[in-house]
Structure 1
Amino acid sequence: MSASEVGQTLKGLKPRWETVPSWKRKLLYGAAALGLFGAGSDTMDAWKGEPQETPAASAPSLRTDLAAPAAATQATAGEPVGPVREFASRFTWGGATGRLGLSFSIAFLAALAIRWFIKTALTVIGLAAAGIAVLVHYGVIDASHFGDTTEWAKTAGPWLAEQTESFTNFLKGHLPSGAASGAGLFLGLRK
């Protein structure tokens, strides 16, 4: 096998953006644009000097014993009345769209990286196992040098579970939208 053939074989191990289907790339671009638009709209309001209120402070009161002012009761059909009108005029979708779009995008990219890592790791492990099997078969190395591998096999499962648990906790703690993150992970891991 020549060096160029080895290079062509190893080229498949490198994660390539071209291997991602075009519909997934478009979905990722759209989600990232949505997230950046949402984050940018809130930032633009802050630059303009418009006050940013917390949702609890700007939410309408749900009490029914409050007397509505006469001006608020004169709303036209389809227009919010009273405190709801005041809240609706100040509400922006920036924060929600920013969180949804960026959560999906980050989870999607993390899933792609995980998928590429798993594929690469399995390929390397398979090649190493095949190489060791060939060396043992031809007597170059003795199988007794490997010792008792049952201890390693017993500890590998719990170690892997602990590592994946800490990774999922990290992602859950840093991604604000669980549903968008879950969708991003699912679509990123899917072929």
Structure 2
Amino acid sequence: MNDTDSLKGLIEMAVERHQTSARQLAFKAQEAGLKITYTTLNQIRSNTYKSVPGEQTLRAIAWLAGVEDSVAFTAAGQPVPGPPLADELPPGADNLSPKSRKAVVEMVRVLVDLEAGSNAERTSSEPTKISRHQSRGVSSESNLGQEQKTGPDDSIIEFHGAEAEKYPAPPIEQLAAHPKVKTRSEQLDEESDSRNEN
């Protein structure tokens, strides 16, 4: 097995490269503006590290070992991040209203979840958030024409683990954003057209 195939191997490379201890490696990384602790380095070296290493940890290990960031991400079994998304936003994005910014952030969260497959692989330690009113944003025969409630009853509550599995998401065809779901305005237009035909 190549030293670059595992994080443990990369840390061993770093120790050999700098001829120093894990504690001193952590100090070197911190002096270079990277965030990593010697306990993290020691735990990875001794195969007792229980967490999933974050982006900053992986970048620090790569720097210490003298390899490209992509080598550390690959050794950790994680996708290599692209350039910062903020650098690719069009001019004027910083001038968006708070409401628009929130919409952009939520959309990015959804896309990240979809690509990571986290909807299917949620662990019991991660909260699942659902609305107390599951009909919110859903169009069905029973709630057509009813106004959506807003206020304290629509607050978000969290469910964890097995409890979260009791509340599955509605089928995609029932989501208000789905193209097959007609808005109330479209429904009224159809009713008006059918009355005019009669």
Which structure dedicates a bigger proportion of its chain to helix?
1
TM-score exceeds 0.5: no
* More contact order relative to length (CA 8 Å, sep ≥ 6): 1
Query: Could you tell me the TM-score, scaled by structure 2's length?
Result: 0.21
Which structure dedicates a bigger proportion of its chain to strand?
2
Query: Could you tell me the TM-score, scaled by structure 1's length?
Result: 0.22
